[in-house]
């Protein structure tokens, strides 16, 4: 690696084995300290509110919300662990050694793999709710969804375990002559396998499922508009139920679109290699990947009245009152 005259070593006392960093522009450093670290805190806090809301209030113990709870857990870990460590690793030297570098990469991969599979399950949930509503309550139950959530986290851990030892070996080799950096290493076969399992397969499934969902949702909306004004109370109840499911599909559709927008660029960039990009471009793409975890709770706040109501109850500590878990918030 070519080192400029104004570059500084990560460890001045060991210049022969230390990695060297170019000087950071003061404007970029100021932006990172003022904006990015507070965004990490905001991400963790907002997702913690989601976790408390769905866990505490019994009315929110629905199959769809269990999936949102699982997604909030992964987003919370992104804000608590991944975003601060990723910002530190890309703007300063890595000071925590090879093992913790590999552990950080391992945990990051687990979290993002879980997020992808979560989005697939959310798409499946909406597909059944809209396309086969008569069997939704029997096919999609809370216990089945909880089992699927446990399965997806087990898959994420097992899927990424094979890369941990490889990364540790490569990181130790790099540290012999460049100590102070934490980078992700995979061979070509591993890169294409991750690209296939973490992007091509899940994104294809999400697009196919949601295309079908919106085709059916549009046809149902047209049928509802053309239907004669409610003749009986039963018809009115059925219409309200359909309207609720369609609204949920639109809200979760926004969630999926935002996720794909933030998620896809980083995987294409990782396949082509970040080395050919400028430092600011690669940093923006990777942080966009993590920033999705902050956007999800904002989407909930925009589209879900129950989230705004539960936040007020949590902030005012009303959830500490006896029987607060039975409160009517829908």
For 107-142, b/e burial (b = at least 16 CB within 10 A) is bbbbbbbbbbbbbbbbbbbbbbbbbeeeebeeebee
- For residue 330, the model assigns a pLDDT of 77
Q: Quick one: average pLDDT of 79-108?
A: 80
DSSP state of 312: H
Domain boundaries, the chain: 26-325
Tell me which H or E stretch contains 9. strand 8-9
CATH of domain 26-325: 1.20.1070.10
- What is the pTM for the complete model shown? 0.82
DSSP state of 140: S
- For residue 15, the model assigns a pLDDT of 63
Query: Could you tell me the pLDDT band of residue 140, with boundaries at 50, 70 and 90?
Result: very high
- Who has greater pLDDT, 32 or 314? 314
- For residue 134, the model assigns a pLDDT of 86
Q: Quick one: average pLDDT of 167-179?
A: 68
- For residue 36, the model assigns a pLDDT of 79
DSSP state of 18: B
* Tens-digit pLDDT profile for residues 197-250: 777 888 888 888 888 887 887 776 666 666 544 444 444 444 454 555 666 667
Phi-psi region of 272 (alpha: psi -120 to 50; beta: other; left: phi over 0): alpha
* Distance between CA atoms of residues 324 and 321, nearest Å: 6
* Tens-digit pLDDT profile for residues 266-316: 766 666 555 556 666 767 777 787 888 888 888 887 788 888 899 999 999
Q: What is the mean pLDDT of the chain?
A: 78
- Pair type for strands 8-9 and 20-21: antiparallel
- For residue 209, the model assigns a pLDDT of 86
What sign has the CA pseudo-torsion 39, 40, 44, 45?
A: negative
119 has a pLDDT exceeding 90: no
Q: Which of 260, 218, 237 is nearest to 115 (CA)?
A: 260
- Alpha carbons within 13 angstroms on the beta-carbon side of residue 153 total 12
């Amino acid at each position: 690696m070519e080192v400029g005259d104004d570059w500084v070593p990560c460890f001045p006392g060991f210049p022969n084995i230390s990695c060297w960093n170019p000087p950071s522009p003061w404007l970029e450093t100021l932006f990172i300290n003022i904006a990015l670290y507070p965004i990490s805190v905001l991400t963790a806090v907002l997702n913690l509110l989601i976790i408390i809301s769905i866990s505490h209030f019994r009315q929110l113990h629905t199959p769809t919300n269990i999936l949102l709870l699982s997604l909030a857990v992964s987003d919370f870990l992104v804000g608590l662990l991944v975003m601060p460590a990723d910002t530190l690793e890309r703007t300063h030297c890595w000071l925590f050694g090879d093992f913790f570098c590999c552990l950080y990469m391992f945990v990051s991969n687990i979290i993002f793999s879980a997020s992808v599979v979560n989005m697939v399950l959310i798409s499946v949930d909406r597909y059944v709710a809209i396309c086969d509503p008569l069997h939704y309550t029997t096919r999609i139950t809370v216990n089945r969804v909880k089992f699927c959530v446990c399965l997806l986290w087990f898959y994420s851990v097992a899927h990424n375990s094979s890369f941990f030892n490889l990364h540790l070996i490569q990181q130790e080799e790099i540290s012999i002559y460049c100590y102070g950096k934490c980078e992700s290493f995979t061979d070509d076969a591993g890169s294409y396998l991750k690209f296939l399992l973490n992007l091509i397969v899940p994104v294809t499934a999400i697009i196919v499922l949601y295309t079908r969902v919106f085709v059916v949702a549009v046809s149902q909306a047209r049928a509802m508009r053309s239907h004669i004004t409610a003749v009986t109370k039963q018809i009115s109840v059925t219409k309200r139920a359909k309207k609720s499911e369609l609204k949920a599909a639109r809200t979760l559709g926004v969630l999926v679109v935002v996720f794909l927008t933030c998620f896809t660029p980083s995987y294409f960039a990782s396949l082509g290699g970040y080395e050919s990009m400028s430092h600011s471009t690669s940093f923006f793409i990777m942080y966009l990947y993590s920033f999705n975890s902050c956007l999800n709770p904002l989407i909930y706040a925009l589209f879900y009245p129950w989230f705004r109501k539960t936040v007020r109850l949590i902030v005012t500590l009303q959830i500490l009152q006896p029987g607060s878990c039975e409160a009517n918030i829908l």
